[in-house]
Structure 1
Amino acid sequence: MQTTNRTNLAKRARYYQGLMDVDSLVSGADYSELNESYVIFLCMEDAFGNGLPVYDFHQVCKQDSEVLLNDGTHKVFFNASKYDKMPTESLREFFKFLNGLNAASDFTDQLEQKVRYAKTNAQWRHRFMTWEQEMRIQVKEKSEQLAKEMAKDLANEMVEDRVNAMRKDIEKEAKEMAAEKVEETAKKLLAEKIAPEVVAKCTGLSLEQVKKLANG
């Protein structure tokens, strides 16, 4: 399929023909087993500039054009710009289709379906890749956000735990200091010969605790 006019089509056709011949013979096969082969170019423009819809080349004798070499090779170049001059209706419809014009045949209908399917597939693949990329971005963003929230929550928990521990330490220390102060007060009252029962009542200590301080 040629969408632009190229000047090396003849040599390319020869090259392709050679490749086909090599590929069609297995190693050690005789050349007589070569199949008839066609190299066909579908050109959107006139490759040879003579205004023909089809250029069909065969090996012919230079001295007598009726003598054919019959080597089984064919090289055909279609000129899509001359779709209305094609030799058959099916070819005319096909090349109308290639030119983007309305064509009406079973073959062009099938081609249209294939083209539509290919386009849809390409768009679907693109949408899927876009969606996949978007999902990766969203997962990354969500994971980063979750990590930040977890770190923040962990930091908050650590701070809260630390504050609770400090509060407990302060409360414990305050209670110890208060207990020491009460005992100190109780000892002073006992030193002033205040009865243990009165000291216990004034300090909130039990009578046993006061008696223990008095004997200590």
Structure 2
Amino acid sequence: MTDKQERQHQEDLQRLRGFRLLDDDFMTKCFEGETACMELVLRIVLEKPDLQVTDVRTQVFVENLLNRSVRLDILATDSEGRKINVEIQRADHGAGKRRARYNSAMMDVNLLPKGEDTDDLPETYVVFITENDVLGGGLPLHRISRYDHDMGTPFDDGTHIIYVNGAYRGSSPIGLLMHDFACTDPAEMHYNALADRVRFYKESKEGVAIMCKVMEEMREQSLQEGLEEGMKVGRKESAVETAKRMLADGHLSLEKIAEFTGLNLDEVEKLQTAENA
């Protein structure tokens, strides 16, 4: 291992010590395939003490061929066939109400096979665990379901959205759970199932190696995305310079310049205005 690699490794170990379950990359790794941990969380959040989780998948890509696709942090299934999407969100702007609505809609689109009746749609939950009190009020939970205002009764279509206030503390199960989600030291966590999982990834040789590999992959992905973005910027700058030369030459129409450079017509017109100023 080179000196540079050793320094990077030590930085990764330091970063790992500061990870919490409120950090989505760490959380999804801790809950990957872990039905017991997911069961603990959902029994508390959904207030269903008998809930049994049968399947847990992380980083689930839900494709939309025509519009925006989504990647779900966690998608769990319980013994009743209910589908539960759990999202960790530290930034307030990423936990908007319409994002929760979109996640719910995308789950529905992919849950009903062709030929089956819509009455067969399973009950779904979208659970946002947010670092801050996004919806306000200091409440531990906000439970949202559709409502028939004229009848004064729940619409009861089987869709539910729940916001969990990660800043909430107290001696209740949800207060202790949010303490554990914000905790960096497994020795200070209340729930043994979560503490054991966090301890594995922070203190065992195997778990630390897995997390270091995850961080290396994240760096490589970030570098690749940066290179791709740089290439896009470079191509755009090249197209702009080519368009300026064509404008200066004066032999091509604005439409043709746009066609040849890949710029849109508005961009070419703005370049022409700037050149003539």
Which position in structure 2 is the counterpart of 1:197? none
Say whether residues 1:96 and 2:179 are aligned partners: yes
Q: Describe the shift of the 1:53–1:126 C-alpha distance in structure 2 as closer, same or farther (beyond 3 A).
A: closer
Identity of aligned residues (%): 21
1:207 corresponding residue in structure 2? none
- Root-mean-square deviation (CA, aligned residues, Å) is 2.6
Which structure has the bigger radius of gyration?
Answer: 1
Which aligned runs of 4 or more in structure 1 are off by greater than 4 angstroms? 124-127
Match of 1:71 among 130, 133, 157: 157
- The one-letter code of the counterpart of 1:33 is D
Q: 1:124 to 1:30 in 2, by over 3 A?
A: closer
Query: Alpha-carbon deviations, 1:51-109, whole Å to 9, x = none?
Result: 211110011222454x0111001100000101327xx42x3332111212622222222
Shift in alpha-carbon separation, 1:125–1:23, aligned structure 2, 3 A: closer
- In the aligned structure 1, how far is the partner of 2:122 from the partner of 2:131? 29
Match of 1:121 in 2: 210
Instruction: Judge conservation of contact 2:95–2:128 (CA < 8 Å) in 1.
Output: no
Question: Using the alignment, how far apart are the partners of 1:99 and 1:124 within structure 2?
Answer: 23
Distance in 1 separating the partners of 2:154 and 2:117: 22
Q: What is the rounded CA distance, in whole Å, between the counterparts of 1:77 and 1:41 in structure 2?
A: 5
Matched residues in 2 for 1:23 and 1:13: separation? 16
1:19 to 83, 88, 106: 106
In structure 2, the residue matched to 1:182 is none
In the comparison of the two structures, how many residue pairs are matched?
123
What pairs with 1:4-153 in structure 2 (closer than 5 Å)? 4-6=91-93, 9-63=96-150, 65=152, 67-84=153-170, 88-89=172-173, 91-100=174-183, 102-116=188-202, 118-123=207-212
Judging by fraction of residues, say which structure has more helix.
Answer: 1
AA aligned to 2:189 is A
Instruction: Report the Cα offset of residue 110 of structure 1.
Output: 3.1
- CA distance change for structure 1 residues 77 and 119 in 2, over 3 Å: closer, same or farther? farther
More strand by share: 2
Structure 2 residue runs without a partner (length 5+): 1-87, 217-277
Mapped partners of 2:214, 2:100: distance in 1: 35
Q: Is the 8 A contact 2:201 2:211 kept in 1?
A: no
Q: Secondary structure at the residue paired with 1:83? A: coil
Structure 1, unaligned stretches of length 5 or more?
A: 128-216
CA separation in 1, counterparts of 2:125 and 2:119?
A: 17
Match of 1:187 in 2: none
The CA deviation at 1:46 is 0.9
Partner amino acid, structure 2, of 1:28? G
